[in-house]
Amino acid sequence: MKRLAILIIGLSFFLLPVFSNAQNYNEMFSKKQQMMQQPNRAAQYILGNGDVLLVTVNLWGHVLKPGIYSVPSSYSLIDLISSAGGPLSTARLNDVRVVRKNQEVIKVNLEKFLKTGDASSLPTLQPGDTIIVSGSIQDVFTKMVAIFRDLAIIVNVFVLASRVNN
């Protein structure tokens, strides 16, 4: 009985964050599915305050606040990422991708822009664009270490439970 109690308590520390994140991902996925199922809901220009044309784009990945943004059509990629709170320290700025509605994928090197200031390398935002800011190898390594840490905790719970019974 003690073994079972220790096992349940140990696993709850590991599984509670996993299930709470899964629920958030499921909510985001279902909202995206609902939006895609609405007829003729193609991304388009929207007239904002002061007769400003707004473009709706998706921003995914390693930025502070990823999501769906309606920004003025004059905004650049830098303006959009800045509106989202900027890139995270794990962002790989030399591999930002802009996926167009016509399935065209544009690779953008923001590091080059930051070094040279040459805005000609930045694509203009179009309605329905999805901007993906990739993560660095450091981020992948951090996630792998976290997985091994969690597995070590589970193994430790089993070892402790077996020692309690002996």
Pick the closest to residue 132 from 103, 104, 101, 95 (CA basis).
95
Q: How far, in Å, CA of 18 to CA of 21, rounded?
A: 5
Strands 67-72 and 105-108: unpaired
Within a domain: residue 35? no
Whether 29 shows a pLDDT value over 70: the answer reads no
The per-residue pLDDT for range 102-136, each reduced to its tens digit, is 989 999 999 999 999 988 889 999 999 999 999 88
Q: What is the pLDDT of residues 45-87, one digit of tens each?
A: 666 677 788 999 999 999 999 999 999 999 999 999 999 999 9
Q: Whole-number mean pLDDT of the chain?
A: 81
Whether the per-residue pLDDT at 24 is higher than 80: the answer is: no
Residue 36 lies in a domain: no
Can you give the residue range of the structural domain that contains 21? Answer: 2-28+141-165
Q: What is the pTM of this model?
A: 0.61
Residue 159 CA, distance from chain mean position: 36
Predicted local confidence at residue 131, as pLDDT? 97
Residues 47 and 121 in one domain: yes
127 and 91 in a common domain: yes
